[in-house]
Amino acid sequence: MPTPNPHSRAVATATAAREKENETPQVNKNNTMGPQSQRRLTLTERTHQLQSQSHRKKQKTGGQQTLFGGDAFEPLKDCEVCKAKQWGRTVHRAHHKLCNNRRGGAKLSTAAMTSMQEEKRLQVLFATPLTEAEKCSGKCLTKEAVAGHFAPREVTKIAATTTTTTTTVSMEKDTTLRSTTEILTADEMCIEVNKIIKDPSYAHFHDSRAPAAMLAFAKVVVERIVNNKKIDVSSHFDGITMTVPLSKCAGEPHFHSIVGQKLLHVDWKRHYNLDVTCPRCRKCHMENTRTNYSKNKILFPLFGLEGPPQWCMVQLLKCPCCKATMQANSGETLRDLPVYARLACPVETKCAIENKLCHLSKSVTNAMDLLMPTHGNGDLISRLLCNAINRSYIERLEAYCSSYKRKEGAVPNVYLEKNGEHVKAYLPLGDAIRDAYDVASSNDNTCWGISDHD
């Protein structure tokens, strides 16, 4: 009996299936398949395509990161000598200063070395037990040490003779100077500010970042108080700060909107008679050149959680030796000032960053030191600043409108718009606050000369 050929059997089976298909009617698969199953097929194919390209995704650059989000130093990637050695090449140059393979180890910064030396000194000091003579000893509490510690600061005075006639003449001169000094009242300030606001020649005030009324008030203060030798500056300024006084004629919306706000005149020579030593060369004293208001009619904003920003007229200082220029409210300048003068400027020295359009006050810095290290809530601090300005504006508007209810038939004037003439210097957002905190953390313009990061 012959064995069946498997090839012929497969051909016969295929022929029978083809004849059966010809007998049955053809059914359109698109009519029986619903849209859901079609989308399911498309999503499945798309998933397989994404899975096939998963290895092409961009990997995260770098491995270990620094405290501020940057890439940490890696010898095989950042050091030219170590990078060449792993591929068998030889580079005739020194290792990178941060490379551990460098002769003597990685180089440390000056602040880090100082901190390590201080730590070793304190360890030896604390580990050494006290002797019996040192316990409850008062050898350092001498009268000379106490008198030198609590001695008042010497103020340069004009040398005068000790005769009785000279003393009498000097007292007469002091009384004549006190009698001739003038005091600018709040009503006079209000009248001058309203006069400047209504003058069409000062329309450029409305183009500045500060409110027009605050610029007009600064103009009155400069012309009538700062540049006037007959007026005692200390009678109007509390340190370097002057508050806009409340006047009886404050019915105008412009002057009413700035009542209670603060104007800072950052001039250490005029208010404290201090000669600022140049922090760059340390050879001579800085000289006053001009302020930001005297040339460009610009006021520097200082944002805080108390309400509207404080506006500063900042003195520009220049060194006659090294020709270095810096602002009177910069971190380098504030760091070298005495404590009583430094506290007059409500800014931390580490947060007084140069080349910034605004500064953050100590109230904001205290909140940043609590929230930023653990939560990084830059957006929250920005919202707190914005809420403080909005709340202050609503309170001023309510106070202005309610004052007219007591007067029968009196119609209040149209108040100022908050984002129009009231404040044009907008607040920093969360990203800007986080960047400012990172810069302040690594800034060594502090009282002890070491940054928070170090």
* 125-141: pLDDT as tens digits: 889 988 887 787 777 77
The DSSP code sequence of 69-110 is SPBPP-HHHH-HHHHHHTTT----SPPPTT-TTSTTSSPPPH
Q: Please say if the pLDDT value at position 265 is more than 90.
A: yes
H helices present in 181-279, as ranges: 186-198, 212-221, 253-256, 268-272
Whether pLDDT at 162 is above 70 = no
Q: Tell me which residue range forms the domain holding 401.
A: 182-441
* Domain assignment present for 42: no
**pLDDT in the model for residue 74:** 86
The count of domains in the chain is: 1
Answer yes or no: are the C-beta atoms of 334 and 352 closer than 8 Å. yes
| Distance in angstroms (rounded) separating the CA atoms of residues 191 and 194 | 5
pLDDT-derived band of residue 113, with 50, 70 and 90 as boundaries?
confident
Beta strand 310-318 pairing with 300-303: antiparallel
Residue-by-residue DSSP string for 157-190: -------HHHHHHHHHHHHHHHHH-B---HHHHH
In a domain, 315, yes or no: yes
359 — pLDDT class (breaks 50, 70, 90): very high
What distance in Å separates the CA atoms of residue 261 and residue 255, rounded to the nearest whole number? 11
- Residue 165 pLDDT: 35
Taking each helix axis from N to C end, the angle separating 430-441 and 378-403, rounded to the nearest 10 degrees, works out to 120
- How many angstroms from the chain centroid is the CA of residue 299? 16
Tens-digit pLDDT profile for residues 286-301: 999 999 888 788 899 9
Question: What are the pLDDT digits (tens) for 32-90?
Answer: 555 555 555 566 666 666 665 554 444 445 467 666 667 778 888 889 999 998 888 88
Is residue 10 one of the residues assigned to a domain?
A: no
**Alpha-carbon dihedral of residues 14, 19, 24, 25, nearest 10 degrees?**
100
Secondary structure letter of residue 433 according to DSSP: H
Residue 290, strand partner residues: 316
Position 273, amino acid: N
Residue 263: pLDDT band (50, 70, 90) is very high
264 near 313, Cβ under 8 Å? yes
**Residue 175, in any domain of the structure:** no
Residue 116 belongs to a domain: no
CA distance linking residue 309 with residue 244, whole number of Å:
13
Residue with tokens 């030889």: 90
In 3D space, the residue among 54, 98, 91, 108 whose CA is nearest the CA of residue 72 turns out to be 98
How confident is the model over 389-393, as a mean pLDDT?
89
Residue 15 lies in a domain: no
pLDDT digits (tens, 9 = 90+) for 392-444: 988 988 888 887 766 666 666 777 776 655 556 778 888 889 989 999 988 88
Q: Is residue 368 situated within a structural domain?
A: yes
Global pTM reads 0.59
Q: Are 218 and 193 in contact (CB under 8 A)?
A: no
pLDDT value at residue 167: 34
Is 424 domain-assigned?
A: yes
Please check the confidence at residue 158 and state whether its pLDDT lies above 50. no
Given this model, what pLDDT does residue 242 score? 94
> Treating both helix axes as pointing N-terminal to C-terminal, what angle do 186-198 and 212-221 enclose, rounded to 10 degrees?
120
Distance, CA of 1 to CA of 159 (rounded, Å): 145
* Cβ neighbourhood burial of 258 (10 Å; 0-12, 13-18, 19+): buried
CA atoms of 362 and 389, how far apart (whole Å): 17
> Cα–Cα distance between 87 and 409 in angstroms, integer?
91
Query: Considering only 108-112, 172-176, 199-203, 416-420, which range has the smallest mean pLDDT?
Result: 172-176
